[in-house]
Amino acid sequence: MKTNAARLLDNLKITYELRDYEVDPDDLSAETVALKVGMPLNQVFKTLVARGDKKGVCLAVIPGDKQLDLKALAKLSDDKHCDVVSLKEVQPLTGYIRGGVTALSCKKDYPVYVDESMKDFDQVSISAGVRGTQIIMSPTDYLAATKAKVGVICC
């Protein structure tokens, strides 16, 4: 199934692979996704929705085995303070549900901040915009498609 994220990559002429997996709605963890798509956890990147006190909503993309460092995100985004938005805000802000959030074809063009560890890999896995499908692609192409700013944002 082609998602809006996949269509965006097609329009940009970016090579990718869609990898489907069976979803357990009670377990949307990155660990489970990594096992189901057959990739190491540190190569499966999750997209979190945050809000800075100055710049507003942004997307933070970090490896599945790490936690978001809100102070580092604030510094990278030129905010004094950042918080992760509440779960009830995720879909209205992004158009995506938990477990399917992606910076590709988001409802609005939010700033994207990616942990620099993404550059360590030939391929990474990111959500395709729906639960049960991941996009496997090169980090270079992902960074270009999302116009992301790269820095250390996880611990």
**Mean pLDDT for the stretch of residues 105-116:** 95
Whole-prediction pTM value? Answer: 0.96
Q: What angle do CA 54, 56, 61 make, to 5 degrees?
A: 120
Candidates 96, 29, 34, 88; CA nearest to 59 is 96
Q: Which pLDDT band holds residue 23 (cuts at 50, 70, 90)?
A: very high
How far apart CA 108 and CA 9 sit, in angstroms, is 17
The hierarchical CATH code for the domain 4-151 is 3.90.960.10
How far apart CA 148 and CA 140 sit, in angstroms, is 10
For the record, the structure tokens of 98 come out as: 């938990």
**pLDDT tens-place string over residues 28-78:** 999 999 999 999 999 999 999 999 999 999 999 999 999 999 999 999 999
Starting at the edge strand found earlier in the chain, the sheet holding 133-137 runs 17-20, 133-137, 124-127
